[in-house]
C-alpha cells in the first residue's frame, strides 16, 4: 500500500473511523520522494536506532524501517495505533509507543538502543509543539547522533540563521551550543493532507560529540542569551543591565568592551554562541566576586 497516496490515506482514515486531529498537528505527507529524502538524510549508519515522533499513518516509519536497524515510533493519538498496526504489521523492527513524547522518559525508553549503538531522531513534527519538542530533545542530554525534522519554514530559517542576520534569535544561539543545524530542503504545503497554511523545511541537527565551549555556569550562559534577545533593539549593555540587576551598567559595559573586546554599542544579535559563552563567563566571575 502506498501510504503517501491521498486516496489510500483517506480510505485508511475511514476504515478506522478517524478524522485528522488539528489539536495534534496532523498533516500527513503525501509525497513519496519527500518521505524517502527525509529517511535517507536521517543517518549514514544502517545499524542506527531511530526515534520517530508522530508516525501518523506510518509513511515515514515504513521508509525508516527499510533503512535502519530499528524504529521506535511514539504516537500520541491512540486512534492511530490500530491503523499503524495494520500499515506497519510486516515490519518486525518497528516498536509502536502510544504516548505524548513530552511526557515520556526518553532515557528509559531508549536505554537499550543507546547501549547498542547510535540513536537518531526523525520526525515530521506537529507544528503546535515544534519548539518545545526540539528544546526538550536537546536539553535532555541524551547522546543522540542527530535530529532530522520537518518544521515550519520560518522556524527552520531561524534555527539555521547566522549571527547578525534578521532570523537569528536566542533559540539559534542556544541550538548552536548543542549542535550544528543544516537546512536540507523546502517542502511546499501542497505536499500534505490536509494542507497547512505555511510551507515547511527539513533541517538536520548534528549534535556535538563534545561541546566546543563549556560555559563556567550554564544558567548564566542561558540568562545572557535570553537577556540579549529580550530587547533586540537595545545595545548589549542596556539589554544586559535590564536583566543582570546585580551588576551596574558601568561594570557590564567594561566587561563587554575590555574583557570581551566588543564595541559598547553592539547589539546582542551580532554575537555567536562562542562569544555568548565568553561573555557569560565574565559576567559569572563578576557576580561571584560580589557575593
Ligand atoms: N509522520 C506522519 C507524516 O509525515 O505523514 C505524520 C506527521 S503529523 C505532522 C504529526 C504527528 O505527530 C501526528 O501523527 C500526531 O498525532 C503526532 N503527535 C502530535 N503531538 C504529539 C506528541 N506530543 N507526542 C507524540 N506524537 C505526537
Query: Which pLDDT tens digit goes with each residue over 54-68?
Result: 999 999 999 999 999
Tell whether the model's pLDDT for residue 232 goes beyond 90.
no
Evaluate whether residue 213 is within a structural domain. no
Evaluate whether residue 111 is within a structural domain. yes
Ligand 1 within 6 A of 130 CB? no
Ligand 1 within 6 A of 100 CB? yes
Evaluate whether residue 134 is within a structural domain. yes
On whether both 229 and 191 belong to a single domain, the answer is: no
**CATH at 164:** 3.40.50.150
On whether both 143 and 12 belong to a single domain, the answer is: yes
Task: Give me the percent of the chain exceeding a pLDDT of 90.
Answer: 97
Which atom in ligand 1 lies closest to the alpha carbon of residue 123? 1
On whether both 115 and 241 belong to a single domain, the answer is: no
Q: Where does the pLDDT of residue 178 fall: very low under 50, low under 70, confident under 90, or very high at 90 and above?
A: very high
**CATH at 241:** 1.10.8.100
Q: Where does the pLDDT of residue 291 fall: very low under 50, low under 70, confident under 90, or very high at 90 and above?
A: confident
On whether both 84 and 198 belong to a single domain, the answer is: yes
Q: Which of 176, 207, 238 is the last residue of a domain?
A: 207
Please give the model's pTM, rounded to 2 decimal places: 0.96
Which atom in ligand 1 lies closest to the alpha carbon of residue 52? 1
Q: pLDDT for 242-283, tens place per residue? A: 999 999 999 999 999 999 999 999 999 999 999 999 999 999
Evaluate whether residue 245 is within a structural domain. yes
On whether both 228 and 189 belong to a single domain, the answer is: no
Ligand 1 within 6 A of 192 CB? no
On whether both 187 and 268 belong to a single domain, the answer is: no
Give the residue, out of 9, 65, 126, with the most ligand 1 atoms within 8 A of its beta carbon, to mutate for a pocket test: 126
On whether both 198 and 223 belong to a single domain, the answer is: no
What mean pLDDT is predicted for residues 141-155?
97
What mean pLDDT is predicted for residues 73-92?
98
Distance between Cα 132 and ligand 1 center (Å): 14
Q: Where does the pLDDT of residue 98 fall: very low under 50, low under 70, confident under 90, or very high at 90 and above?
A: very high
On whether both 47 and 184 belong to a single domain, the answer is: yes
On whether both 168 and 282 belong to a single domain, the answer is: no
Structural domain span for residue 276: 218-289
Q: DSSP letter string over the chain?
A: --TT-HHHHHHHHHHTT----GGGT--EE--HHHHHHHHHHH-S-TT-EEEEE--TTSHHHHHHHHHSSEEEEEES-TTHHHHHHHHSTT-TTEEEEES-GGGS-HHHHTHHHHHHS-EEEEEE--GGGHHHHHHHHHHT----SEEEEEEEHHHHHHHTPPTTSTT--HHHHHHHHHEEEEEEEEE-GGGEESPPSS-EEEEEEEEPSS-S---S-HHHHHHHHHHHHHTTTS-HHHHHHHH-TTS-HHHHHHIIIIIS---TT--GGG--HHHHHHHHHHHHHHHHHT-
Q: Which of 181, 207, 233 is the last residue of a domain?
A: 207
pLDDT at 1: 87
Evaluate whether residue 212 is within a structural domain. no
pLDDT at 290: 79
Evaluate whether residue 161 is within a structural domain. yes
Q: pLDDT for 191-226, tens place per residue? A: 999 999 999 999 999 999 999 999 999 999 999 999
Evaluate whether residue 167 is within a structural domain. yes
Evaluate whether residue 1 is within a structural domain. no
Q: Which of 186, 207, 228 is the last residue of a domain?
A: 207
On whether both 279 and 136 belong to a single domain, the answer is: no
pLDDT at 105: 97
Q: Where does the pLDDT of residue 110 fall: very low under 50, low under 70, confident under 90, or very high at 90 and above?
A: very high
In the chain, how many domains are there? 2
Question: Which residue's CA lies nearest to atom 14 of ligand 1?
Answer: 56
On whether both 146 and 18 belong to a single domain, the answer is: yes
On whether both 73 and 98 belong to a single domain, the answer is: yes
What mean pLDDT is predicted for residues 226-244?
94
Ligand 1 within 6 A of 205 CB? no
pLDDT at 231: 86
pLDDT at 214: 92
Amino acid at each position: 500500500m502506498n501510504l503517501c497516496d491521498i486516496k489510500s490515506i483517506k480510505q485508511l482514515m475511514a476504515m478506522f473511523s478517524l478524522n485528522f486531529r488539528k489539536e495534534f498537528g496532523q498533516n500527513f505527507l503525501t509525497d513519496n520522494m519527500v518521505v524517502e529524502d527525509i529517511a535517507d538524510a536521517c543517518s549514514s549508519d544502517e545499524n542506527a536506532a531511530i526515534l520517530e515522533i508522530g508516525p501518523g499513518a506510518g509513511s515515514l516509519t515504513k521508509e525508516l524501517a527499510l533503512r535502519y536497524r530499528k524504529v521506535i515510533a511514539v504516537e500520541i493519538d491512540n486512534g492511530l495505533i490500530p491503523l499503524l498496526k495494520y500499515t506497519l504489521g510486516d515490519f518486525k523492527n518497528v516498536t509502536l509507543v502510544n504516548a505524548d513524547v513530552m511526557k515520556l522518559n526518553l532515557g528509559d525508553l531508549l536505554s537499550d538502543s543507546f547501549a547498542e549503538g547510535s540513536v537518531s531522531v526523525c520526525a515530521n513534527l506537529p507544528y503546535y509543539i515544534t519548539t518545545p519538542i526540539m528544546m526538550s530533545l536537546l536539553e535532555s542530554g541524551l547522546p543522540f547522533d542527530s535530529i532530522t525534522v520537518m518544521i515550519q519554514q520560518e522556524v527552520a530559517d531561524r534555527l539555521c540563521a547566522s549571527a547578525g542576520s534578521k532570523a537569528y534569535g536566542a533559540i539559534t544561539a542556544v541550538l548552536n551550543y548543542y549542535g550544528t543545524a543544516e537546512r536540507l530542503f523546502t517542502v511546499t504545503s501542497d505536499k500534505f493532507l490536509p494542507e497547512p497554511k505555511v510551507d515547511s523545511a527539513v533541517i538536520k541537527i548534528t549534535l556535538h560529540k563534545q561541546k566546543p565551549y563549556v560555559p563556567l555556569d550554564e544558567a548564566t550562559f542561558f540568562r545572557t542569551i535570553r537577556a540579549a534577545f529580550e530587547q533586540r533593539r537595545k545595545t548589549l549593555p542596556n539589554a544586559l543591565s535590564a536583566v543582570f540587576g546585580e551588576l551596574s551598567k558601568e561594570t557590564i559595559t567594561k566587561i563587554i568592551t575590555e574583557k570581551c573586546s566588543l564595541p559598547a554599542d553592539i547589539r546582542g544579535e551580532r554575537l555567536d554562541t562562542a562569544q555568548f559563552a565568553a561573555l557569560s563567563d565574565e559576567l559569572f566571575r563578576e557576580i561571584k566576586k560580589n557575593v
